[in-house]
């Protein structure tokens, strides 16, 4: 009987010690987790068949949608209210009936994350905006939306590093369709980087997946974006 009591007592003590250790571990873990600045942490993931492809011009598929953590648009639209949301862009207004004036926000920079070094390097300018629309039209991957931008305008004119004019064709003067297209949410990407990529791939970007985990395809100098990625 004494032996059984001793075994039982030993077992109970072992269980209590295990519970105390486990509880202490959990408390410490919770305390440690509470120190993480989670209000500044966002997790994102791709979906569909091309989870390793991040093509910002390919907005007609998940390959483009997943890059909204890398790159950002000038504007967006609140579909419930119709309100235009400023993003990289600050304002978009008519100047007469044949010109749209777009002003970018000041103080915006491209961020280089190559070689695990995060630095604000170069200002985002209207050169990047104009080049992004040229690439969108070159690839033709986003279908009729970007084609309509080409159909409604004659040119994008740089006024300064933060201001550009979009000259509208006579058939679309004063049209709300112009605003709808220019505030649709097309992503803007860095001209200095993508002109190099475009030249490397001889103008055919269809095979460039822009997968930053593939350091052979995407060297450190190309890992530049404006978003939280």
pLDDT digits 0-9 by tens, 8-30: 555 455 554 444 444 444 444 44
pLDDT of amino acid 198: 93
Q: How far is CA 94 from CA 8, 62, 123, in A?
A: 85, 33, 25
Q: How far is CA 103 from CA 94, 97, 100, 163, 217, in A?
A: 12, 18, 10, 5, 34
CB 195 within 8 A of CB 131: yes
Q: Which residue has the tokens 């004019």?
A: 165
Sign of the torsion formed by the C-alpha atoms of 158, 162, 163 and 168:
positive
CA neighbours closer than 13 Å in the CB half-sphere of residue 35:
5
Q: What is the pLDDT of residues 209-227, one digit of tens each?
A: 888 888 899 998 899 999 8
Q: What is the pLDDT of residues 177-198, one digit of tens each?
A: 888 888 888 889 999 999 999 9
Q: How far apart are CA 71 and CA 91, in angstroms?
A: 19
Sign of the torsion formed by the C-alpha atoms of 166, 169, 174 and 180:
negative
Going by pLDDT thresholds of 50, 70 and 90, the confidence category of residue 138 is confident
**Of residues 146 and 50, which shows the higher confidence score?**
50
Q: How far apart are CA 9 and CA 157, in angstroms?
A: 85
Percent of the chain with pLDDT over 70: 63
Going by pLDDT thresholds of 50, 70 and 90, the confidence category of residue 115 is low
Q: How far apart are CA 215 and CA 204, in angstroms?
A: 20
Mean pLDDT: which of 16-20, 46-50, 130-134, 178-182 is highest? Answer: 130-134
Of 74-78, 145-149, 211-215, the one with minimum mean pLDDT is 145-149
Q: How far apart are CA 229 and CA 227, in angstroms?
A: 6
């Amino acid at each position: 009987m004494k032996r059984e009591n001793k075994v039982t007592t030993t077992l109970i003590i072992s269980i209590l010690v295990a519970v105390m250790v486990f509880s202490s571990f959990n408390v410490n873990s919770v305390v440690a987790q509470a120190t993480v600045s989670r209000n500044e942490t966002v997790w994102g993931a791709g979906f569909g068949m091309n989870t390793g492809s991040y093509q910002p011009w390919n907005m007609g598929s998940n390959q483009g949608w997943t890059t909204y953590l890398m790159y950002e648009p000038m504007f967006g639209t609140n579909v419930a209210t119709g309100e235009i949301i400023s993003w990289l862009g600050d304002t978009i207004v008519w100047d007469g009936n044949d010109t749209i004036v777009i002003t970018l926000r000041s103080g915006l920079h491209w961020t280089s994350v190559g070689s695990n070094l995060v630095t604000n390097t170069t200002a985002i300018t209207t050169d990047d905006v104009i080049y992004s629309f040229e690439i969108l039209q070159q690839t033709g991957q986003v279908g009729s939306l970007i084609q309509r931008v080409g159909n409604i305008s004659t040119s994008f004119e740089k006024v300064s590093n933060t201001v550009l004019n979009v000259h509208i064709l006579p058939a679309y003067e004063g049209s709300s369709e112009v605003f709808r297209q220019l505030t649709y949410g097309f992503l803007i990407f860095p001209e200095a980087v993508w002109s190099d990529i475009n030249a490397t791939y001889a103008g055919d970007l269809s095979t460039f997946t822009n997968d930053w985990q593939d350091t052979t395809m995407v060297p450190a100098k190309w890992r530049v974006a404006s978003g939280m990625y």
